[in-house]
Structure 1
Amino acid sequence: MEHLTGFAREFLKAMRNLLPIVAVVAVFQLVVFRGLPEDPLQLVVGLLIVGVGIAMFLQGLDLSVFPVGKNIANQFTRRGALGPLLAFGFAIGFAAAVAEPALIAVAEQAEIVSDGRINGLTLRVVVAVSVGLVLVLGLLRILRGWPVHRLLIGGYALALATTFIAPQEIVGLAYDSGGVTTNIVTVPMIAAIGLGLANSIRGRSVLADGFGLVALCVMVPIIGVQLYGVWVYTFGNTGAVAAAPGAGSGHWAADFALGLAETVRDVLPIVLVVLFFHYLVLKHKIAHPVRVLVGFVMVLVGLYAFVVGLKIGLFPIGTQMAEQLIERDVPALILLFALLIGFATTMAEPALVAIGNQAEDASRGRLNGSAIRIVVAVGVAAGITLGVYRILVGGPFHYYVMASYGVVVVLVFLAPKYIVALAFDLGGVTTSEVTVPLVTALGIGLATALEGRDALMDGFGLIAFASIFPIISVLLYAMLLERIPTLRKETS
């Protein structure tokens, strides 16, 4: 009964988080396009399935991913096993990234748009190795107590420097690849490891030291992909484009089984890494294995229902609306759509909900999870709008990125230090299964439709802006929180 009540509560929250998407669709369909969607019932059914999926997913995380991740970090710390811990970090990072659905989608688009010069599988391996290596660095940071802002500032300085030697065709893709390395399963797992490690080491702050791993996983792939681009565009040749995946068998039962198998494939590498290190390296049994198993099944089924709901309801209407806006060629409407859809899709991101709740718990009430989600959604909306504006008016991508990160660096020195790692992590959780397909379709569609734009050089990059601007908004939010007590004293 308790679990059923919890599920109902999570379902109602999920449906409330989906309301902004419904509002955006309704306003544009009724006011701008003056008509109803082609199949409004399909949209409603799809969103209901999404709500069920999010509720199951979040409950499954609480039963399995969070306790297992924190426990394995605690076990490594107690035993002082630095080598196996770092090996675990690399393995979990590589396994999480190489099977990431959003990265697979972006890699396939890059291979098609580049006429095969960029190899999709190679791109994924480059990103996965980058994530594995940087997770090793991130774990060392927590163990040694290194300030996260120094690593982040140094890393992004290197990323921006690499931008000047990388070919223009690869820059937007590189920043987008960094933004899609983390999804709604890997983010909670990586965050749980960091929080568990910080919690088990004396003198570490869970809020200041436990977060930051996701941020590093976003940063280093940018450098790796740009260096891969230097190699490809210097020595590589145009290759054959891989065939696009099939649309399905046409039978609902077969499609259901195939889709569920793909979901298992995406999550299985992470599960295998966790089981290998738990049983064979640490030689420690998982506490409450039945509950953990049920939790993992709920995560799988919830994730699958979530993706199915998106495909049924949100993706068709979102793609259709983007195409209608491009055909109308009214820049103000395109910018308004980018702003609203950026906010609405972010509010529905399950990983953001999970990390917002973890941040509220870690801060012991100093931060509010719901307020964090709104602040992050505002940042994503602003970032995607700026990215769309760049495509509409033209201009080198790296100038916009450098200016944006310049603002981030200034705010890092002004904001309270406890928020820095969390702010960068939140920038990495905004680009997941909801946002990436819609944003990628919008960017490539705009760049293809506008004269003088290149789909490869101009179509990618929106995801990068969707990752940068939440960092800015969260840092400003923390600065405001610190300022409010002072303002109260001055006015009293």
Structure 2
Amino acid sequence: MNQKLKEKITESLSSVLPVTCIVLILGITIAPIPLDPLMLFLAGAAFLIIGMGFFTLGVDMAMMPIGEKVGAQLARVKRLPIIITACIIIGAVVTVAEPDLQVLAGQTPAVPNMVLILAVAAGVGFFLALAFLRSLFGWSLSHILMVCYIILFIMAFYIPGDFLAVAFDSGGVTTGPITVPFIMALGMGLSSIGQGKNQDSDSFGLVALCSIGPILSVMILGLVYQSSSGTYEPMSIPSISNSQDLWLAFQHELPEYALEVFTALFPILAFYILFQIFFLKMRRRQVVKILVGMLYSYIGLTLFLTGVNVGFMPAGSYLGKQLASLPYRWILVPVAMLIGYFIVKAEPAVQVLNKQVADMTGGTISEAAMMKGLSVGMALSLGFSLFRVLTGLPLLSLLLPGYAIALGLSFIVPPVFTSIAFDSGGVASGPMTATFLLPFAMGACEALGGDILKDAFGIVAMVAMTPLIIIQLIGLSYEFKTRREKSSAQLSIIDMDSEFIDLGKEDPNES
């Protein structure tokens, strides 16, 4: 067990180290960073590395097995109303517990926090039920996504501008490190009773549909409240004069995030205990392993969220301000792309998705290929987002063509790639995006004198969009490669057959 934890921490070190080095290099060259945010950033990186190691091990030991067992048990019930009701309740409860949802609620103008939280939770719950029905009846994910996004983009023209960016951001934010592993594992269990032609593709796609629920919920609230009275408060950086001040900055926030994570994990643990008592009847050794895994998840996510919120957020904001204040402010775009390429590796749920994709496809889609695709997608999304901050380009001018391309590709690539691609959009836009990249864009927007709510927000939506295109393009290239190999194999068989035919013919001169 200690060896596995060591391996996970080593993996997280290799994921976080590139971003840390980039920030340090920028800090000593073109964008000097004061010691206060720099010390917080370095300490936050240490929290991040250890936390991510504990969390990914905990997911392997507890979150994934719980989701799979609960999903498989629900599949055995064979009573549609009970399963749909259970999906709605599970989706809503897990979403309410998602730590990032609290951040989203505080950013949305004019809507009371609890109203927004309950609306988003209901949206996730109903779309989780829809995702189950898709797996059960073999419905086409491409057709469902097409209808849903057409509705969303029609509604986008009728809601206030302040709601638009926050609405699309909510789709990525609410599918965070708690929701994603559980929902993905739940899908693996539920897909066992599906009637679709491709069980692999049916096991994916749940995150994709659950990402639509929050967007729709916030848009409906925008139509109801019809207000654009959003406010933005500049971030304050605590003063750090010695090592004790540095520790106190993290110690002050640690209990708060520990409580948030406990609130997030407790519903999942409660679901598991109920299912264990009445249905699963797992052996004592398996139960102990899952409980230890939940403890690892709790420790890891607490350290991770403390690190990114206390350490990374101030550094991101300050770095964005410094780069935007330079005479050559265009450098924001390539710097953001470079950071985006590496920072996606530090998203906890990305590791979970890549491993599950490799396992489910038997290595056909490797973890390395998935990571490369997500990294390229993140780099492009950050480049477009900072270009939008510099120019004030409307968010819809990028989202409309982007989703049109993504949805168009969904009809020509293998279904499993479409399901994985739309899942990856929600997975890539996790805590690192919300606590480093969003403050980075907000800091740059503040220095440029732009509209924070309209220009800086929307970065999560962009991060969630570009992987949809990149992963499907990987699928398209894989499809072409497979067809070429099949054609070559068929030609070889035909050649061999013709040789046998020639050999079987008698020479007319031999008689």
TM-score, normalised on structure 2?
0.86
Q: Structure 1 residues 11, 228: CA separation in 2 closer, same or farther (over 3 Å shift)?
A: same
Distance 1:141 1:329, change over 3 A: farther
1:472 aligns with 2:465: no
- 5 Å-filtered alignment, 1:73-472, equals 73-110=71-108, 114=109, 117-201=110-194, 205-233=198-226, 255-276=253-274, 279=277, 283-287=279-283, 288-311=286-309, 313-328=311-326, 330-451=328-449, 453-472=450-469
Cα offset, 1:442, TM superposition = 2.9
Question: Structure 2 CA distance, aligned partners of 1:486 and 1:144?
Answer: 29
Equivalent AA in structure 1 for residue 471 of structure 2: V
Deviation at 1:275, TM superposition (A): 3.5
Residue deviations 1:318-353, cap 9 Å, x none?
Answer: 222112112226332111222122222211111001
The alpha carbon displacement at 1:434 in A equals: 1.2
State whether residues 139 and 196 of structure 2, in contact with CA within 8 Å, keep that contact through their aligned partners in structure 1: no
Q: In structure 1, what is the Cα distance between the partners aligned to 2:433 and 2:343? A: 6
Instruction: Describe the superposition over 1:358-384 as per-residue Cα deviations: whole angstroms up to 9, x where unpaired.
Output: 000000111101220221121022112
Instruction: Answer yes or no: is the 8 Å Cα contact 1:88–1:277 preserved in 2.
Output: no
Deviations 1:114-141 (A, max 9, x none): 4xx2323222222111111111111111
Give me the whole-angstrom Cα distance separating, in 2, the residues matched to 1:239 and 1:307: 26
SS at match of 2:428: coil
- Residue 121 and residue 443 in structure 1: after superposition, are their counterparts in 2 closer, same or farther (change >3 A)? farther
| Residue deviations 1:386-429 (CA, integer Å, cap 9, x gap) | 12212211232222211111111221122222211111000000
Separation in 2, partners of 1:169, 1:254: 32
Indicate if the aligned counterparts of 2:37 and 2:311 stay in contact, CA closer than 8 A. no
Distance 2:86 2:13 in 1: 37
Q: Tell me how far apart the structure 1 counterparts of residues 320 and 169 of structure 2 sit (CA, whole Å).
A: 20
Paired residue for 2:49, among 48, 51, 54?
51
The Cα shift of 1:201 comes to 4.5
Runs of 5+ unmatched residues, structure 1: none
Deviation at 1:149, TM superposition (A): 1.1
Q: Distance in 2 between matches of 1:237 and 1:455?
A: 13
Name the amino acid aligned to 1:458: D
Measured in 1, the distance between the counterparts of 2:470 and 2:346 equals 18
Question: What is the CA deviation profile of residues 36-68 of structure 1, one whole-angstrom value per residue up to 9, with x for unaligned ones?
Answer: 865766544432332221121111111111111
Aligned-residue offset at 1:154? 1.0
Letter in 2 for 1:205: N
SS where residue 93 of structure 1 aligns? helix
Q: Say whether the 8 Å CA contact 2:51–2:299 is kept in structure 1.
A: yes
Q: Give the match's secondary structure for 1:414.
A: coil
CA distance in 2, matches of 1:75, 1:438: 39
Distance apart, 1:276 and its partner CA: 4.1
Q: 1:487 to 1:333 in 2, by over 3 A?
A: farther
Conserved 8 A contact 2:141-2:205: yes
Percent of aligned positions that are identical: 27
- TM-score scaled by length of structure 1: 0.89
**Runs of 5+ in structure 2 lacking a partner?**
239-244, 493-511
The 8 Å contact of residues 88 and 273 in structure 1, kept in 2 or not, is answered as no
Matched positions, count: 479
Distance 1:23 1:477, change over 3 A: farther
Q: Choose 152-161 or 247-256, whichever is displaced more.
A: 247-256
Q: Distance in 2 between matches of 1:23 and 1:250?
A: 25
Letter in 1 for 2:453: L
- Asked if structure 2 preserves the Cα contact closer than 8 Å seen for 1:29 and 1:37, the reply is no
Q: Write the deviation string for residues 448-490 of structure 1: whole angstroms up to 9, x where unpaired.
A: 4434x42222231111010000111101111122233556778
Say if 2:358 and 2:364, in contact at 8 Å, map to a contact too: yes
**1:229 match: secondary structure:** helix
| Distance across 2 between alignment mates of 1:51 and 1:253 | 18
- C-alpha contact (below 8 Å) 1:174/1:222 kept by paired residues: yes
Sort the Cα spacing of 1:416 and 1:95 in 2 relative to 1 into closer, same or farther, 3 A: same
Whole-Å separation in 2 of the counterparts to 1:332 and 1:272: 50
Deviation by residue 1:300-326 (Cα, 9 ceiling, x = unmatched): 001112123324543332222112112
Deviation at 1:284, TM superposition (A): 3.7
Whether the 8 Å CA contact 1:50–1:310 is kept in 2: the answer is yes
The aligned amino acid for 1:125 is L
Inter-partner Cα distance in structure 2 for 1:95 and 1:359: 26
What is the Cα deviation at residue 283 of structure 1? 4.0
Counterpart for residue 70 of structure 1? 68
Shift in Å, 1:229? 0.4
1:91–1:273 contact (8 Å) kept in structure 2: no
Q: Cα–Cα, structure 1 residues 447 and 36, in superposed 2: closer, same or farther, change >3 Å?
A: closer
C-alpha separation between the residues in 2 aligned to 1:461 and 1:237?
Answer: 16
Structure 2 residue identity aligned to 1:475: Q
How many angstroms apart in 2 are the aligned matches of 1:303 and 1:35?
A: 27
Change (3 A) 1:211 1:446: same
**What do the CA deviations read for 1:235-261 (whole angstroms, capped 9, x no partner)?**
x6969999x99x999697675444322
* The 10-residue stretch of structure 1 (301-310 or 209-218) with the greater mean CA deviation from structure 2: 301-310
The CA distance in 1 between the partners of 2:315 and 2:145, in whole Å, is 38
